[in-house]
Amino acid sequence: MKKITMNKLFTTVTLCAGLLFANAVNAESSVWKVSKDNDVVYIGGTIHILPVSEFPLPTEFTDVYKITDAIVLETTLPDPTDTKFQMQMMKKMSYSNGKKLTDVLSKKTYKQLSEYITGFGANLNDLSAFKPGFVAAMMAMMEAQRSHISGDGVDAYFNQLAVKNNKAIEYFETMEFQLDMLSNMGLGDEESFIKSNLSQMKDFKSMFDQLIKAWRAGDDKKLAELVIEPMKDDPKTLKSLITDRNENWIPHIEKMFGDKDKEFVLVGVGHLVGDQSVLALLKAKGYKVEKVK
Identify the pLDDT of residue 150. 72
> How far apart are alpha carbons 106 and 124 in whole angstroms?
14
Closest residue by Cα to residue 31 from 220, 253, 242, 157 = 220
Provide the residue type at 223 as one letter: L
Identify the pLDDT of residue 70. 97
Q: What would the pLDDT profile of 76-111 be if each residue is shown by its tens digit?
A: 877 778 888 888 888 999 998 889 999 999 999 999
Name residue 42's beta-bridge partners.
33, 264
Q: What would the pLDDT profile of 123-140 be if each residue is shown by its tens digit?
A: 999 999 999 999 999 998
> How far apart are alpha carbons 100 and 129 in whole angstroms?
5
**Which H, E and C letters describe 249-284, residue by residue?**
HHHHHHHHCCCCCCEEEEEEHHHHCCCCCHHHHHHH
Identify the pLDDT of residue 231. 86
**Which H, E and C letters describe 48-64, residue by residue?**
CECCHHHCCCCHHHHHH
> How far apart are alpha carbons 21 and 228 in whole angstroms?
8
Identify the pLDDT of residue 85. 83
Distance, C-alpha 14 to centroid of its chain: 2
Identify the pLDDT of residue 10. 45
Q: How many residues does the chain have?
A: 293
Distance, C-alpha 202 to centroid of its chain: 20
**Which H, E and C letters describe 93-153, residue by residue?**
HECCCCCCHHHCCCHHHHHHHHHHHHCCCCCHHHCCCECHHHHHHHHHHHHHHHCCCCCEC
The parts of the chain modelled with pLDDT lower than 50 are 1-27
> How far apart are alpha carbons 72 and 152 in whole angstroms?
17
- Let me know: does 127 contact 135? Beta carbons within 8 Å: yes
> How far apart are alpha carbons 156 and 54 in whole angstroms?
14
Q: Where are the domains of the chain?
A: 16-21+24-291
